Amino acid sequence: MAISRRDLLKTAAAAGMLGGLPGLARAQVDTPEKPSLTIAVGGQALIYYLPLSVAHLKGYFKEEGLDATIADFAGGSKALQAVVGGSADVVSGAFEHTINLQAKGQFYRCFALQGRAPMIVLGVSKKTMPDYKTPADLKGKKIGVTAPGSSTNMMASFFLAQHGLKPSDVAYIGVGAGAGAVTALRSGQIDAIANLDPVISTLVKEDAIQIIADTRTLQDAHKIFGGNMPAGCLYASQAFIDANPNTTQALANAMVRADKWIQAATPDDIVKLVPKSYLLGDPDLYKLALKGNHEALSPDGLVPEDGPQTALNALAEFVPHFDRTKIDISRVWTNQFAIKAGQKYPHG
């Protein structure tokens, strides 16, 4: 009579023999519990989410036994809504959303970092605000963000708060993270924009904006936020992570490999890999944007130790009546999966 693999494992376990069946034991332990899953993202073409695209395009998810579908939304807040609503399993989004969710009694945790600085740039339109002098000039103006409530919205509000302006002093307009954002600025629909590359580099090349705040470098991000500010990451509900630890590890493995591949790749390598639509019609401009954001992309998927507290401080400034005393910051992040991924792929 044929013995099934499951029966063999049961028999081996009962006899204390799994140590003698390392291949079978490892297969049992490592197999993803949920091989088919959906990852929600808000603006996949952004360099902010480049590690996600690399992991997908290089086949790293498949090599980890995952059939990952990527659902692209106009902004991070929309991606968040998808996972909370149940139409996605995991989010590729801004780290601070995990904190905001906990404030609402929902527990989500970051388990693989994509960016160690926000990469968001705030610029004013030279068309509608040619005489801009100080942040106070933004009062009563329209600021384009990827989506209301997204990290671009938070960065702009945090910057304005440092200069005495409240969120209600401006109007935030959702313009997405691609060609539509560029068009909105060009056409005068918005007076300023908080966005990421390649959108920002496109507008800079056209001399369409004056940059007034830039978090593409660690130095400027520290200046605006007061410390390391973790940015793009993979996060999921604690319930998902608890029920699917192997799946979570497989996702982290793929993302850490992608982080490391990007560090070793040239701009030409990346341009050849990503879809042409990411380039917004200008490969050379995209290459410049890659160089400008390189420092902000995570080299290893690990969250900086001081990063979660920096994010909490920023969020407390951004969200009205935010009670930081109710937040257990240790529950919104973990490096355990990224550490194991780095051990499995020390060189990417």
Instruction: Check: CB of residue 145 under 8 Å from CB of residue 194.
Output: yes
Mean pLDDT of 212-216: 93
Q: How many whole angstroms separate alpha carbon 13 and alpha carbon 37?
A: 30
pLDDT at residue 167 in the model: 87
Average pLDDT, the chain: 90
Q: How many whole angstroms separate alpha carbon 333 and alpha carbon 127?
A: 42
Amino acid identity for residue 197 in this structure: D
The conformation of residue 67, written as its DSSP 8-state character, comes to E
pLDDT at 67 over 90: yes
- Structure confidence at residue 342 as a pLDDT band (50, 70, 90): very high
Within the chain, residue ranges assigned H as helices are 5-14, 22-30, 50-57, 60-63, 76-85, 96-103, 151-161, 179-186, 199-205, 218-225, 238-243, 245-264, 267-273, 283-293, 307-318, 336-344
Instruction: Check: CB of residue 249 under 8 Å from CB of residue 340.
Output: yes
Q: How many whole angstroms separate alpha carbon 180 and alpha carbon 202?
A: 12
The H helix count followed by the E strand count for the chain is 16, 10
Instruction: Check: CB of residue 160 under 8 Å from CB of residue 170.
Output: yes
pLDDT at 12 over 80: no
> What pLDDT digit, counting tens, does each position of 236-260 carry?
999 999 999 999 999 999 999 999 9
Handedness of CA 104, 158, 79, 181 (dihedral sign): positive
Q: How many whole angstroms separate alpha carbon 314 and alpha carbon 130?
A: 30
- Structure confidence at residue 8 as a pLDDT band (50, 70, 90): very low
pLDDT at 77 over 90: no
Strand order, beta sheet including 192-195? 171-174, 142-145, 192-195, 121-125, 209-214
Query: pTM for the whole thing?
Result: 0.83
Distance between terminal CA atoms of the chain? 44
pLDDT at 99 over 60: yes
Instruction: Check: CB of residue 293 under 8 Å from CB of residue 262.
Output: no
Instruction: Check: CB of residue 322 under 8 Å from CB of residue 80.
Output: no
- Structure confidence at residue 29 as a pLDDT band (50, 70, 90): low
Mean pLDDT of 272-300: 94
Higher pLDDT, 12 or 212: 212
The conformation of residue 30, written as its DSSP 8-state character, comes to H
pLDDT at 6 over 70: no
Handedness of CA 157, 161, 164, 166 (dihedral sign): positive
- Structure confidence at residue 315 as a pLDDT band (50, 70, 90): confident
> What pLDDT digit, counting tens, does each position of 31-42 carry?
999 999 999 999
Q: How far is CA 79 from the centre of its chain?
A: 11
pLDDT at 215 over 80: yes
Lowest mean pLDDT of 10-24, 105-119, 125-139, name the range: 10-24
Amino acid identity for residue 85 in this structure: G
pLDDT at residue 26 in the model: 42
The conformation of residue 3, written as its DSSP 8-state character, comes to P
Q: Which of 100, 92, 179, 96 is nearest to 144 (CA)?
A: 179
pLDDT at residue 51 in the model: 98
Q: Which of 244, 237, 147, 127 is nearest to 189 (CA)?
A: 127
Q: How many whole angstroms separate alpha carbon 308 and alpha carbon 319?
A: 16
pLDDT at 23 over 70: no
Mean pLDDT of 176-204: 95
pLDDT at 82 over 70: yes
Beta strand 36-42 with 67-73: parallel, antiparallel or unpaired? parallel
